[in-house]
């Protein structure tokens, strides 16, 4: 059988580790052929492919990005999109597709599965906001980059007696902000799940000043919003899945804190630094295990399912139980972090 593999949506460190694992196991154990599909669903819409073999995937384990490329193309937003995808698959002789993606990309996989596409999903997003799995790959790399950024901001914040605000990714969930903030000793963590008030942040800063701590570190997820307000958007447009481009909540906070308190504030937007570069070891391991799990699902003919991590086991669940939902940060975990907001 010929297997296609694609990565869609925002990249996440570890995509290449999934590709490598799928190719190895598919060729060496199942005697399948594997073909790469370029730039997510766009490759299947436009018929753009890369042949893959053991040598083409050698040495890619530590590489960030995706050797396949990625895009936020939505075939359901194009006239005859789903038809073209199925036609191109047939023409290429592709029997099944391994789809590496987050909610949008896997949502397309589920809808195409209902139209007859044999596919299996691999959960990818630095945001860790997919339901049904304990972790998505890429998340731990993003957390470790954000934690390192906090460590570095810590020393300069302390030297200058400033408030430092670090804005991290996390459109609808605060996983990165929470874990990086907890690991990096943040004095306040703001997440989309819990609207904030400027007053509560100023209160934390004042409490610290009273005990002689004249600097504070605040981590904010890009999707965090003020009580009664909206997320702060960078620009008005939306992508093919209707996602807003968020950004700027850090600057909003910085300005508001300076208005209310006589303390200098600086803002760092970590942006795509937290998505680029080499995956940490735990993401390489998880991505590799997902890749092996995905090709096993293909071999067993278990289509329309996504590999998932439960405890220390790789399991699978139907895509329809995953898509269109978001795994929010458990507020019990947030209570742990709040102990340190003082
Ligand atoms: O992949 C999800 C994500 O990391 C979000 O947290 C963020 O809003 C988005 O990607 C930004 O992606 P891009 O700038 O590539 O559109």
Band of the pLDDT at 117, cuts 50, 70, 90? very high
- Verify whether ligand 1 is closer than 6 Å to residue 181 (CB atom): no
Q: What is the mean pLDDT of the chain?
A: 97
> How far is residue 33's CA from residue 54's CA, in Å, rounded to a whole number?
11
How confident is the model over 319-336, as pLDDT tens digits? 999 999 999 999 999 999
Dihedral sign, Cα of residue 205, residue 208, residue 213, residue 217: negative
How confident is the model over 127-155, as pLDDT tens digits? 999 999 999 999 999 999 999 999 999 99
- Nearest ligand 1 atom to alpha carbon 275: 4
Q: Is the confidence at residue 198, as pLDDT, over 90?
A: yes
Band of the pLDDT at 110, cuts 50, 70, 90? very high
How confident is the model over 225-259, as pLDDT tens digits? 999 999 999 998 999 999 999 999 999 999 999 99
| Average of per-residue pLDDT across 157-168 | 98
| Average of per-residue pLDDT across 151-175 | 98
pTM of the model: 0.97
> How far is residue 82's CA from residue 95's CA, in Å, rounded to a whole number?
16
Domains, the chain, in order of start with CATH, read 2-137+279-321 (3.40.50.450), 140-275 (3.40.50.460)
Atom 10 of ligand 1, residue of closest alpha carbon: 10
What pLDDT does residue 239 have? 95
> How far is residue 78's CA from residue 108's CA, in Å, rounded to a whole number?
12
What single DSSP character describes residue 78?
A: S
Exposure on the CB side of residue 220, measured as CA atoms within 13 A: 31
What pLDDT does residue 152 have? 98
- Nearest ligand 1 atom to alpha carbon 245: 8
> How far is residue 167's CA from residue 256's CA, in Å, rounded to a whole number?
15
- Verify whether ligand 1 is closer than 6 Å to residue 269 (CB atom): no
The CA angle 50-26-124, to the nearest 5 degrees, is 70
What pLDDT does residue 236 have? 87
Considering the candidates 11, 104, 127, 187, report the single residue annotated as catalytic.
127
- Nearest ligand 1 atom to alpha carbon 176: 6
How confident is the model over 50-85, as pLDDT tens digits? 999 999 999 999 999 999 999 999 999 999 999 999
Q: Is the confidence at residue 342, as pLDDT, over 90?
A: no
Atom 12 of ligand 1, residue of closest alpha carbon: 10
How far does residue 243's CA lie from ligand 1's centre (Å)? 9
Query: Are the C-beta atoms of 129 and 172 separated by less than 8 Å?
Result: yes
> How far is residue 4's CA from residue 185's CA, in Å, rounded to a whole number?
43
How far does residue 271's CA lie from ligand 1's centre (Å)? 9
Mark whether 127 is an active-site residue.
yes
């Amino acid at each position: 059988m010929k297997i296609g593999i694609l990565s869609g949506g925002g990249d996440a460190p570890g995509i290449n580790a999934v590709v490598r694992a799928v190719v190895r196991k598919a060729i060496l154990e199942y005697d399948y052929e594997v073909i790469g599909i370029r730039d997510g669903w766009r490759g299947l819409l436009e018929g753009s492919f890369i042949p893959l073999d053991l040598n083409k995937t050698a040495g890619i384990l530590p590489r960030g990005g995706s050797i396949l490329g990625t895009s936020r193309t939505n075939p359901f937003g194009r006239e005859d999109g789903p038809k073209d995808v199925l036609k191109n698959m047939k023409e290429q002789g592709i029997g099944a597709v391994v789809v590496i993606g987050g909610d949008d990309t896997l949502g397309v996989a589920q809808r195409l599965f209902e139209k007859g596409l044999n596919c299996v999903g691999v959960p990818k997003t630095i945001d860790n906001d997919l339901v049904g799995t304990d972790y998505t790959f890429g998340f731990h790399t993003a957390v470790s980059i954000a934690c390192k950024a906090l460590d570095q901001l810590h020393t300069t914040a302390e030297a200058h007696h400033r408030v430092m605000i670090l804005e991290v990714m996390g459109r609808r969930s605060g996983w990165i902000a929470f874990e990086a903030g907890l690991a990096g000793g943040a004095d306040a963590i703001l997440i989309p799940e819990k609207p904030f008030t400027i007053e509560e942040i100023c209160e934390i800063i004042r409490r610290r000043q009273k005990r002689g701590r004249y600097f504070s570190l605040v981590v904010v997820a890009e999707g965090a919003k003020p009580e009664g307000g909206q997320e702060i958007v960078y620009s008005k447009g939306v992508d093919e899945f209707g996602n807003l481009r968020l950004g700027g909540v850090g600057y909003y906070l910085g300005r508001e804190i300076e208005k209310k308190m006589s303390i200098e504030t600086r803002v760092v937007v970590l942006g795509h630094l937290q998505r680029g570069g080499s995956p940490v070891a735990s993401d390489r391991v998880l991505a590799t295990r997902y890749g092996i799990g995905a090709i096993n699902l293909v071999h067993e003919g278990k289509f329309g399912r996504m590999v998932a991590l439960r405890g220390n086991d790789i399991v699978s669940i139907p895509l329809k139980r995953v898509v269109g939902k978001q795994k929010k940060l458990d507020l019990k975990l947030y209570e742990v972090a709040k102990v340190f907001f003082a």
